Amino acid sequence: MSHDHKRGTTLRSRDEAARVSNEELFFDLVYAFSVTQLSHYLLDHLTLLGAFQTLVMWFAVWLGWQYTAWTTNWFNPTTLRIRGVLFAIMLLAMVMASALPGAFAERGLVFALCFVGIQAGRTFCMLLCIGAHDPLTPNFRRLLAWNCVAGAFWIAGGLADGPARLALWLGAVLCEYIAPMIGLRFPGLGRSSTQQEWTIDGGHLAERCQLFVIVALGESVLATGIAFGHHAEWHAIDLFALIVGFAGSLAMWWMYFDTSAKEATQVIEHSPDPGRIGAKFHYTHVILVAGIIVCAVADELTLGEGAHHAELKYLGALIGGPALYLFGNALFKRVVRGFTPQSHLYGLGLLAVLAVFASHLTVMAVGTLTTVIMIGVAALESVVRRRAWAAQAH
């Protein structure tokens, strides 16, 4: 097979806009499971250590998905070779998600090996697909080098115990996140340029991020529905808690999709350096989606522990979830629009005020107030944006 023919069968054509394929939609299903596992782990470990462990595992889950999204931006997932790689990653991700509840116990090595298999295995397969002389090859060589460095930390952490595992895995996460910030610079291999070697289809990447937000919001709705369904008897207070959870999910959807999703697609599509903006999309979405995962935990607490006093361990999820989401969304909109929306700053300010006296309230009261704040932010931003569009139209 000639090099040109090989390239033509595996890389996407840049002559037309890349569409999200059915293979990618199917691939995302395993990440719905991963998000569920993460929210359940946090619900069962409502401590500072538990939150930190969940954060490290979330970074791993997001990295696995994020790098695959970039890969399917370059490579055509409808070809047999790339489809095979995608489904192999999916299987490893499923085992990794299954090992997640025991990742800081007896299944640490399984979790680590699956993650390293996903990251290094994917990059190695892509190098085989494009051959030694493709313009993308140096970029993937640097990426594989960094995957191997991070992989050593992951596996060492899987073999270690307790605080050592957490420290080693944190080091691995930092390797994976800092490497793109410095252009994957590696001794002897040089560095990558976002304009030359990270040339991407911006619309495709924006849509992939939007689909992951939908997956995470789906978990939030699912968690609320299952928690409500588990009540032996349905009382008015239970129905109220269900409405609070649903309204919170709706506010998060509204905040993201009503006012920024289309703008984000246009900004990245028309950017002279879409690779650089795409990298920023991923750094902001990791915070934004983490907020949705914590909000799903808050919804389950509101339904299950609504009448209880709002202890400190509950407040971390009840106030921390909406705060993370607003912060991530504000950063994302700053990337898209070039400024931070005032509505999100007001919302964060109100959450800070609520945090001062929340310990005197019930879980239900705090959950209701945070939802009211989220709805208020969504409504205020919607009004402001519509006025801005109306002014532009005139």
State the pLDDT confidence band at 292, using cuts at 50, 70 and 90.
Answer: very high
Q: What is the number of alpha carbons within 13 Å of residue 2 lying toward its C-beta?
A: 3
* Stretch among 140-144, 250-254, 343-347 having the lowest mean pLDDT: 140-144
Residue-wise pLDDT for 16-38, tens only, equals 666 788 888 899 999 999 999 99
pLDDT at 6 over 50: no
Best CA proximity match to 255, nearest among 280, 292, 282: 292
Cα angle 242, 248, 249; round to 5: 95
Q: How far is CA 7 from the centre of its chain?
A: 30
Once rounded to an integer, what is the mean pLDDT over residues 324-340? 90
Q: What is the pLDDT of residue 379?
A: 92
The secondary structure of residue 106, as a DSSP letter, is T
202-389: which CATH number, 1.20.1410, 1.10.357, 3.30.420, 1.10.510? Answer: 1.20.1410
- Which token pair is 178? 């800092």
Buried-exposed string 356-366: b where 16+ CB fall within 10 A, e elsewhere: eebeebbbbbb
Q: What is the pLDDT of residue 321?
A: 94
| Residue 186 near residue 145 (C-beta atoms within 8 A) | yes
Residue-wise pLDDT for 88-108, tens only, equals 999 999 999 999 999 999 999
Q: What is the pTM of this model?
A: 0.89
pLDDT at 390 over 80: no
Q: What is the pLDDT of residue 8?
A: 46
Angle between helices 22-44 and 274-304 (to 10 degrees): 50
* Residue type present at position 149: V
Domain ranges for the chain, please list them: 3-181, 202-389
State the pLDDT confidence band at 192, using cuts at 50, 70 and 90.
Answer: low
